[in-house]
Structure 1
Amino acid sequence: MEKTVFQYHHELNGLEVLQAQYKQQNFARHSHEGYTIGLIENGAQRFFRSGANHVAPASSIILVNADQVHNGQTATEQGWGYRAMYPTPGLFEGLTHDIGETQLGAPYFDQAVVFDPVLAKQMAQTFDLLATEKSTLAKQSALYQLLINLITRHNKRSFCLRGISRKPQLATALDYLRDYYFDNISLTQLAAIANMSPFHFIRQFKAETGMTPHAYQTQFRVNRAKQMLRSGLAINEVAVAVGFYDQSHFHRYFKKNMGLTPKQYSKAINENSNR
């Protein structure tokens, strides 16, 4: 049985938290604006990250850097269950500043799967607290302690936000795709902007970003849709505003990316706002 519980914590810099049990869910390659920090509770998850496939069994920790392309599916017949949070680079940068390590910036985690029983126990306790505690102070304290311990134990180097291409021609096309993400842009348009043939452009684009131009555009649309849903816009308005043909099209891509529907996401946001 597929089951998801989503939480949005406005008082924690807009932290998103997901608890899920999946058997058939198959996440296509995508990325998040925030980091993915997940604890596998049962079964095992198979996923792509950093150019390779990984398997995370029960009690292991999954680490995916912000804007890093990844996917996800079960590695067992029984599926997998996990809890995950998605802290932003800005939240991490604030923490490193607070502890006097400003030069670190946001962290970079080079390991996709971590086996750290001490940290895993702290993660489980933090997830439990975030799901039940009403005190903002208690939630902030637990989260910040967890993230500081994560940085201390597993950060490898300062993190440079991905997105600015090392190739100027691709950077121009990426900027155009972000600026006009709601338009029906063609491959020939993007290739012309980058001064490449369509064939060469699509190969270079995928090598640089890990996704096809269409997948990248869809990802950007979903991220913008989340922002609009958080601002209170209706789902049908958001679907049109970000460039999806209709609500069913929007629903399908949103769920494929997030693991929950736009309606479930909006409901969680509203419930948090009414507390």
Structure 2
Amino acid sequence: MTAKATRYWFDPALPMVESRSACDSRAAYLPHTHPTVSVGAVDAGRSVFTHDPYVTRLAPGAVVWVPAGCVHACNPEPDAAWSYQMIHIEAAWADAVLDEAGRAGLRRIHVTHDEEAYAAVCALNAVLFSDSDPVEKESALVACIGDLQEMLGDGMDAQRSDAQDLHDVTAMLQSRHDDRLPLAELAAVAGLSRYQLIRQFRAQFGMTPHAYQLDIRINRARHLLRQGDAPADVAQQLGFADQSHFHRAFRQRVAMTPGAYQRVG
């Protein structure tokens, strides 16, 4: 990102979230509120976060969780600039994700310099600003909300670290690998919340359900390409949004384009 640049991300397919990334900003804000849950991360420079009567100085790597309706302001130190990320999440949607997992959302402002929390926000924003499928972005958002709750709160309770049998979920992903399967539908099959499903799936397979499904599609694509099917036809058969999405996913996993793979096969 170039100096003094601000980028905004919003997708009508995911109306519950929007994001902003600012570099070398000197903009200052009066105390204000948001109707959303707001998660900020400081990338560079130093800033001052105020939420009356508290004043907290933030260094790079800081993460701030601001519930909906909380008065606050975050500004660079005088005569200085800072770089930051800010993600706004619809409060009712975030509450629903956490309610499914048996936990109420954090109702007060939290500030931390925990490295894992900062990495979680950066990872989410990287996915949101990418050209990943909306299902993958939703999974990343659910995962980040749940992970931050564990890092900033008292941890998830009850159900939850016990290993679950995910056979029914993997079977569905296998049999319907060319379908866009909503995260909520997969969670219902597993008998888990959306966050618990992602957490258990990452623990067992090292990836999200959507990434697992993409792997199945790419392995199927290899077979079809070896049979001589045209890459455009393969993309359509396997339910990719368009051919460019198929090429990108294939190259990320095979290190060559579908056409190049077909020629050497």
TM range (shorter): 0.5 to 0.7
**Could you tell me which of 120, 123, 141 is aligned with 1:122?**
120
2:108 counterpart of 1:106: no
Q: Report the secondary structure of 1:119's partner residue.
A: helix
Matching residue of 1:137: 135
Residue in structure 2 matched with residue 223 of structure 1 by the alignment: none
Shift of 1:14: 2.8
Q: How does 1:16-55 map to 2 (within 5 A)?
A: 16-55=18-57
- Following superposition, the deviation at residue 22 of structure 1 comes to 4.2
Is the CA contact 1:5–1:18 (under 8 Å) kept in the aligned structure 2? yes
Please list, as runs of the form range in 1=range in 2, the aligned pairs for 1:116-265 lying within 5 A after superposition: 116-155=114-153
Structure 1 residues 11, 51: CA separation in 2 closer, same or farther (over 3 Å shift)? farther
Q: Offset of 1:13 from its aligned partner?
A: 3.7
**Amino acid of the structure 1 residue aligned with 2:77:** A
Specify the code of the residue in structure 2 equivalent to 1:94: A
Name the counterpart of 2:86: 84
TM-score after normalising by structure 2: 0.53
Ranges of 4+ aligned residues in structure 1 off by more than 6 Å: none
Is residue 9–residue 20 contact of structure 2 (8 Å, CA) maintained in 1? yes
2: CA distance, partners of 1:30 / 1:18: 17
**Cα offset for 1:26?**
0.9
**Structure 1, unaligned runs of 5 or more:** 158-275
- Are residues 89 and 24 of structure 1, via their aligned partners in 2, closer, same or farther at CA, if it must alter by over 3 Å? same
Change (3 A) 1:23 1:92: closer
For the residue of structure 1 that corresponds to 2:34, the secondary structure is: coil
TM-score by length of 1: 0.51
Q: 1:82 to 1:59 in 2, by over 3 A?
A: same
Separation of aligned partners in 1, 2:55 and 2:67:
15
Other-structure match for 2:72: 70
Cα distance between partner residues in 2 of 1:7 and 1:114? 25
Instruction: Tell me: CA distance 1:97–1:88, structure 2 relative to 1, closer, same or farther (3 Å).
Output: same
Preserved CA contact (<8 Å) 1:56 1:62? no
CA distance in 2, matches of 1:23, 1:92: 28
The 3 A distance-change label for structure 1 pair 15 and 57 is same
Q: What is the CA–CA distance in structure 1 between the aligned matches of 2:73 and 2:24, rounded to whole Å?
A: 14
* Contact 2:39 2:86 (8 Å CA) reproduced: yes
Aligned positions, number: 153
Larger Rg: 2
The answer on whether the counterparts of 2:21 and 2:85 sit within 8 Å (CA) in structure 1 is: yes
Structure 1 residue 106: Cα displacement: 3.1
Q: Which residue of 1 aligns with 2:59?
A: 57
Tell me the distance in 2 between the aligned counterparts of 1:17 and 1:27: 17
Output the CA distance in 2 between the equivalents of 1:119 and 1:72.
Answer: 18
How much does 1:142 deviate? 0.9
Q: Distance in 1 between matches of 2:5 and 2:30?
A: 18
Which amino acid in structure 2 is aligned with residue 93 of structure 1? Answer: D
Paired with 1:24 and 1:97, the residues of 2 have a C-alpha distance of: 38
Whole-angstrom distance in 2 between the partners of 1:44 and 1:106: 28
The one-character-per-residue Cα deviations of 1:30-82 (angstroms, maximum 9, x if unpaired) are 11111221111000121211421111110111222211111222126441001
Q: Which structure has the higher relative contact order (CA within 8 Å, separation 6+)? A: 1
Task: List runs of 5+ in structure 2 lacking aligned partners.
Answer: 156-265
Note if contact 1:47-1:54 (Cα within 8 Å) is conserved in structure 2: yes
| SS of equivalent to 2:120 | helix
State the SS of the aligned residue for 1:118. Answer: helix
* Equivalent pair of 1:46/1:72 in contact (CA under 8 Å): yes
Aligned residue for 2:132, secondary structure, equals coil
